[in-house]
Amino acid sequence: MPDQSQSDDESAVYRTFDVDEADPNVSVARTVAELEDVETEELTPLYGCIDHVLEHIFSDPPVPAAEAEITFSYEGYRITVEQDGSAVFRKQGGRE
């Protein structure tokens, strides 16, 4: 199970994903499903939102010094995923 913690920002949930996982899109969808207490099948497929961008940052990452990150909106969350697997989920309101 990925790490989860709360910060001073009550709307933020922090996770760390395994960068070697075959499909990081699944990790994001699982996290949102858990936060919303729904099944992943009830969520919009992540591929329709960001295509394969998340996969590429892990499968063909830039040099570590680049410190690349991806920020996108999905199912009412603003999500930032860094190339080291760190992720932040911030609730924006109701699910879309």
Assess if residue 10 is contained within a domain: yes
Query: Per residue in 33-90, pLDDT tens?
Result: 999 999 999 999 888 788 778 887 777 766 777 778 899 999 999 999 998 889 999 9
Assess if residue 79 is contained within a domain: yes
> What pLDDT sits at residue 61?
67
Query: Per residue in 3-40, pLDDT tens?
Result: 544 444 668 999 998 877 767 888 999 999 999 999 99
> What pLDDT sits at residue 22?
62
Assess if residue 13 is contained within a domain: yes
Domain count, the chain: 1
What is the extent of the structural domain holding 59?
Answer: 5-91
Q: In this structure, what is the dihedral angle of CA atoms 59, 89, 38, 44, given to the nearest 10 degrees?
A: -60
Q: Which helix (H) or strand (E) holds 16?
A: strand 12-16
Show the tokens assigned to 69.
């990150």
Closest by Cα among 63, 1, 60 to 27: 1
